[in-house]
């Protein structure tokens, strides 16, 4: 399993090499390409504010073209260009505390009215290109996505799944107490049951309980000691 961390600025190759030289973290196409070389299954962990849209596009393409399975884990924030990279996953998991942010591309420009009109047209083209990645993953139409991007939409984990940007919300395996429909309370807590399952999985722990019993004691005393030993094991 090859792990790719997208947890810094997304930059072009030259800027990435400068970041490496100065000792700053960065994510850039050349680094991702090197990690993918000879890799089979790939896991991409994302917590990034985004960055260069063309660098993100190249990384998205590299991951999409990879022959092995690509699993994306959105652990914190997949914003802007980082959200584009996230769409390359064969499966996209999102932490219950994470978010995805999508918006329209922006830049800094100067010049006359014609220059501004050209820049606006250029940005519209970038937005349309970005939407292609979102459409491929979510199946949403471009008009809806355009509205979401224009409003700078922040999606919670559940919203991201509902819209199709992610496939599921990560489940960390913690116990969930059952919902009861009873006039009494016939069940022990789920936490106690989980402790019991772990204890019983260990043959050594079970042997410890057995050794605490004494064969020549009466049945009542023996049962009480076994029960106490099991309770001690749980707590």
pLDDT tens digits, 116-161: 665 556 455 566 778 889 999 999 999 899 999 888 899 999 999 9
Is 180 a domain residue? no
What is the domain count for the chain?
A: 2
The model's pTM:
0.69
| Residue 172 pLDDT class (50, 70, 90 cuts) | confident
Domain match, 87 and 6 both: yes
Domain match, 226 and 148 both: no
Domain match, 148 and 200 both: no
Domain match, 98 and 214 both: no
Domain match, 155 and 46 both: yes
Residue 67: give the domain boundaries. Answer: 2-169
- Say how far apart CA 191 and CA 151 lie, in whole Å: 44
Is 16 a domain residue? yes
Domain match, 23 and 137 both: yes
Instruction: Judge whether residue 183 has pLDDT over 70.
Output: no
Domain match, 116 and 220 both: no
Backbone angles phi, psi at 93, to 5 degrees: -100, 145
CA angle 224, 225, 231 (to 5 degrees): 90
Domain match, 121 and 209 both: no
3-state secondary structure the chain: CEEEEECCEECCHHHHHHHHHHCCCEECHHHHHHHHCCCCCEEEEEEECCECHHHHHHHHHHHHHCCCCEEEEEEEEEECHHHHHHCCCCEEEECCCCEEEECCCCCCCCCCHHHHHHHHHHHHHHHHHHHHHHHHHHCCCHHHHHHHHHCCEEECHHHHHHHCCCCEECCCCCCCCCCCCCCCCCCCCHHHHHHHHHHHCCHHHHHHHHHCCCCCCCHHHHHHHHHHHHHHHHC
| Residue 176 pLDDT class (50, 70, 90 cuts) | low
Summarize the confidence of residues 16-45 as an average pLDDT.
Answer: 94
CA angle 225, 227, 233 (to 5 degrees): 100
pLDDT tens digits, 82-127: 999 999 999 999 999 999 999 865 444 556 665 566 555 645 556 6
Domain match, 36 and 150 both: yes
Domain match, 136 and 225 both: no
């Amino acid at each position: 399993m090859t792990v790719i961390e997208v947890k810094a600025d997304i930059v072009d190759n030259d800027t990435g090499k400068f970041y490496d030289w100065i000792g700053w973290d960065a994510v850039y196409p050349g680094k991702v390409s090197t990690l993918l070389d000879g890799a089979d299954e790939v896991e991409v962990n994302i917590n990034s504010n985004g960055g260069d849209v063309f660098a993100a596009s190249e990384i998205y393409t590299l991951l999409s073209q990879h022959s092995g399975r690509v699993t994306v884990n959105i652990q914190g924030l997949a914003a802007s260009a980082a959200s584009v990279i996230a769409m390359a996953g064969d499966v996209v998991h999102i932490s219950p505390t994470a978010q995805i942010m999508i918006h329209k591309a922006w830049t800094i420009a100067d010049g006359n009215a014609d220059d501004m009109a050209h820049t606006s047209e250029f940005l519209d083209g970038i937005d349309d290109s970005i939407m292609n990645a979102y459409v491929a993953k979510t199946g949403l139409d471009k008009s809806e996505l355009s509205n979401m991007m224009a409003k700078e939409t922040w999606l919670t984990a559940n919203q991201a799944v509902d819209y199709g940007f992610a496939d599921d919300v990560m489940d960390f395996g913690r116990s969930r107490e059952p919902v009861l429909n009873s006039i009494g309370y016939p069940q022990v807590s789920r936490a106690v049951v989980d402790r019991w399952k772990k204890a019983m999985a260990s043959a050594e722990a079970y042997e410890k309980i057995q050794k605490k019993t004494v064969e020549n004691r009466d049945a009542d005393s023996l049962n009480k000691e076994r029960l106490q030993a099991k309770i001690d094991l749980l707590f």
